Amino acid sequence: MTGWLPELAVAILATVLAITLHEAAHGYAALALGDDTAQRAGRLSLNPLRHVDPVGTVLLPGILLLVQLLTIGRVEAMFGWAKPVPVDVRRLRDPRSGMALVAAAGPAMNVFLAWCAAMLAHPLESLGGTLPPEAMALGIRFVILSILANLLLGLFNLLPVPPLDGGRILVGLLPAPLAMQVARLERGGLLIVLLLIFVLPRISPSLDLLGWLVELVTGPGFNLILWLAGHGT
């Protein structure tokens, strides 16, 4: 592969792993807490193809990749989603706290994957003199993009708006009357998220939520993961 194709390949791999394993974590957590719905639906799998959503996993990330590669020549930010893993809250042993734990499993998986990517930098460093420069550059780029993709996806999903994971965690933690009020937001939750991402920044640059998350991920978040993986900062 030449030109931007290697960059495209490592960016796709990092993004697909972040998105699909996030969803797989929900299914495994639900199974551990008593709900086998995802298992019966064939979604309890680490195979990324089982979790691919045509728009969120393929089309949107693909457009973002191409636009960045054609404009700035590199990939700096990614966004997407996978096909949601089915969870039947009625089958969980404790529906309220169980759903909060199932929701938390996705972002927790992303933090774990970011740490794994940072740990991968250690063997890459030890192979520095034996690998071709192009292979070393791609390996380092995969580590960087994996850390960024996982941290951004995990933090974004922790926004306290249902149906994002943060909203469902909040429902499990709040007293029942307040939890019911927050849960009612789920029907229009995606619209609220779109307004937060695309409309508020046009009202005021200080309200650019996605920009704030990207800044947090590329700065303190990135450095924290490197530190946790034993890299000096």
Cis-peptide into 163, omega within 30 deg = yes
Six-digit token string for 117? 């990517």
Distance of CA 108 to the CA centre of its chain: 10
Contacts by 41-45 with C-beta closer than 8 Å and gap 24+? 41/86, 43/83, 43/85, 43/86
Catalytic residue, candidates 23, 76, 125, 215:
23
- Cα(114)–Cα(17) distance, integer angstroms: 11
23 is catalytic: yes
Q: What b/e readout covers 18-33, taking b as 16+ CB neighbours within 10 angstroms?
A: bbbbbbbbbbbbbbeb
DSSP string, 185-225: GGGGHHHHHHIIIIIHHHH-GGG-HHHHHHHHIIIIIHHHH
Query: Which residues are catalytically annotated?
Result: 23
